[in-house]
Amino acid sequence: MPATRHAATGQSPKPTADDPRHRVLSAAGQEFAERGYEAATVRDICLAAGVNIAAVNYYFGDKRRLYIESVKHAHQQRAAEVPLPEASGRPAAERLHDFIDTTLQRMLGFSEQPWQVRLMLREVLQPTEACREMVEAYVRPHFAVLVSILDELCQGRLPQSELRRVAMSIIGQCFLYRAAGDVVGMLVPRAEIHSLHTPKQLADHITRFSLAALGVVAPLPDASRFERESPA
């Protein structure tokens, strides 16, 4: 039975669209994603949010703090849209696939790149204080989940340092398609892009590749699998 997805628990209630703070965060996130921190203005953000310009100082103190909270808000929204499936009682290999699938869906799961992904990508490629806060609050716990899954798959054979390297390799395979998607499109024939490089196909491939690297499954699938998957 497919795993059910659920939102993280223990968080504050979801703000409504009428919440001024939420409107400012959403408007700021879109402005920062499109224009960057320096070019985005508090006046334009407040205009887009439909609030008085004093709202930024009231809710956030200054533009710098608004930017940091916007980056964190972007990650929260994306995680809420594509939550990690329930893990209780499921085999580690399935949970690894769920983790990879969720990561890819968050990065690639919509036909148009949402502002949340654009803002986080901008921050990862040109990190500021916001990146550190996002990592500590959200990314590090998520990364710890991946490391724990890998540790279970390896039955404690590998030290934590090596598990972290494997985890980084897995994240890197996913991130490539977000950060260099245009280059991938130049290198790979269009027919393959639509048949072998969808988020689902990539999740299956990266999971098989990673399990093989860990020695959990055979190094390569049999030739018949390649024949079935290859585009006509």
pLDDT digits (tens, 9 = 90+) for 127-176: 999 999 999 999 999 999 999 999 999 999 999 999 999 999 999 999 99
Is 220 or 62 the better-scoring residue by pLDDT? 62
Tell me what pLDDT residue 68 has. 96
User: How many Cβ atoms sit within 10 Å of the Cβ of residue 49?
Assistant: 21
Residue 84 binned pLDDT confidence (cut-offs 50, 70, 90): confident
- For a pLDDT cut of 70, what percent of the chain falls above it? 85
User: How many Cβ atoms sit within 10 Å of the Cβ of residue 89?
Assistant: 5
Q: Rounded mean pLDDT of the chain?
A: 87
**From residue 31, how far is each of 42, 44, 74 by CA, in Å?**
10, 8, 12
pTM value is 0.80
